Amino acid sequence: MSQKRVLLIVGGGISAYKAPLLVRALEKRGIGCRIILTKAGSAFVTPLSLASVSHNEVHEELFDLTQEAKMGHIELSRSADLVLVAPATADLMAKAAHGLANDLASTTLLATNKPVMMAPAMNVAMWYHPAVRRTMETLRGDGIHFVGPEEGEMACGEYGPGRMAEPEDIACVVEGFLNGKAVYGSLAGRSAIVTAGPTLEALDPVRFISNRSSGKQGYAIAAALARAGARVTLVSGPTALHDVPGVTMVRVESARDMLAACQSALPADIFVAVAAVADWRPKTMVDVKLKQKSSQGSPNIALVENPDIVATIAQSGTNRPSLVIGFAAETHDVLTYAALKRNNKKCDWMVANDVSGDAMGGDTNAVTLLTPNGHQTWSQAPKEQIAKRLVDTIAQHFSAAAN
């Protein structure tokens, strides 16, 4: 079998310094590299170090007569099994989205007839900028594959998504892709609905029944799904959290409004019910427009049951999302109750969440994921990390189903 080959385009971001490590990681897997280094990229990594690790000359100029004589730029763009852009800067991505061709890298991306994969790397504010959101949507629509970005501490000192995926991870995704596997972590083309936060059930115009849910876990899952390429609708009860960029936000109050919002967001491939839905609502609330007076004495509050949102969505016939995931909030016999809820609510997966500590409202969580194939426990970690693990598992599930 002939050696697999990647054409690596190194853009001008700080993570370009990791490009030699990426070349090494690819070579370790038997994947050879031809390299294009952009002018901005050469400010972070030298052509000499890339040439040394790849054992190939590094291409920099569009109209370099010496290089063109050996291999024209069109031929170069088709010389590999995959064109990999790492780091993919906001500038390079925007050029590719708009079909610009004013240097060797952008011309190659326009001229290639091979699959293209990008490893975005930029500051978190840039990643969330509407212009970059539009770029991502266009590139996904054009069939570009993505690996990362990762969430974490950035070179500029800020925290969030935008950091280039680690070279080993990129190489691993590339290897899988060249062996015919769907891109791990990619949910491009999938749609998801996430519920989050508490619901609020009014007793009168000023009082209500609610719970301590902060919405943090659900918001983190919505953000991670969006980062993996899914089209996400986040149906949120009242929270103090900001909208999640790149996600369609629907803010509701009551359980019944939350159900209606979820139903109008269908169809979707994935439904993740993270909301802590109030099981009961005051029976008379709909008629009571007047504030109850304390002089009326201790109120007798009759309650009626709210609809079960996840169970309703899981039994919505042809509109049923193919993967329905619930979150079971338990304080004791966590796995037993979670398994019961998975069955009773007709969920595919149930995430067992021990809320006897400060998981509800706190920044970390420890969960056990129950699926028809068994269960896996993820120890105490920031809610963003739990979200990423869940989304990676969702992506694996869809990629296994597709292969």
Q: What residues line the site for ligand CTP (CB under 6 A)? A: 195, 255, 273, 275-277, 279, 306, 308-310, 326-329, 341, 345
Q: How far is the CB of 354 from ligand CTP (least distance, A)?
A: 11
**Which is nearer to ligand CTP, 54 or 306 (by Cβ)?**
306
Pairing mode of beta strands 208-209, 201-202: antiparallel
114 is in an annotated binding site: no
How would you class 402 by CB atoms within 10 Å of its CB: exposed for 0-12, middle for 13-18, buried for 19 or more? exposed
Q: In what order do the strands lie in the sheet with 116-120?
A: 58-59, 31-37, 4-10, 82-88, 116-120, 145-146
Q: How far apart are CA 245 and CA 25, in angstroms?
A: 33
Q: How far is the CB of 14 from ligand CTP (least distance, A)?
A: 40
**Which is nearer to ligand CTP, 123 or 233 (by Cβ)?**
233
What stretches of 298-373 adopt beta strand conformation (E)?
A: 303-305, 323-330, 349-354, 364-371
What is the Rg, in whole angstroms, of the alpha carbon atoms belonging to the chain?
Answer: 25
**Which is nearer to ligand CTP, 172 or 249 (by Cβ)?**
249
Each residue of 14-26: b (16+ CB within 10 Å) or e?
A: bbbebbbebbebb
C-alpha 123, offset from chain centre: 17
279 is in an annotated binding site: yes
345 is in an annotated binding site: yes
308 is in an annotated binding site: yes
Is residue 156 flagged as an active site residue? yes
Q: How far is the CB of 320 from ligand CTP (least distance, A)?
A: 14
**Which is nearer to ligand CTP, 140 or 256 (by Cβ)?**
256
Helical spans, DSSP H, in 78-229: 90-98, 104-111, 124-128, 130-141, 167-178, 216-227
Q: How far is the CB of 276 from ligand CTP (least distance, A)?
A: 6
81 is in an annotated binding site: no
Q: How far is the CB of 382 from ligand CTP (least distance, A)?
A: 21
Q: How far is the CB of 133 from ligand CTP (least distance, A)?
A: 28
Instruction: Indicate the DSSP class of residue 84.
Output: E
Q: How far apart are CA 156 and CA 135, in angstroms?
A: 23
Q: Check 156, 172, 262, 347 and give the catalytic one.
A: 156
Query: Which of 149, 28, 141, 45 has the alpha carbon at shortest distance from 88?
Result: 149
**Which is nearer to ligand CTP, 76 or 274 (by Cβ)?**
274
209 is in an annotated binding site: no
**Which is nearer to ligand CTP, 86 or 276 (by Cβ)?**
276
208 is in an annotated binding site: no
C-alpha 315, offset from chain centre: 26
> Which residues are part of a known binding site for CTP?
279, 289, 307-310, 327, 341, 345
Q: What residues are labeled active site?
A: 156
> Which residues are part of a known binding site?
279, 289, 307-310, 327, 341, 345
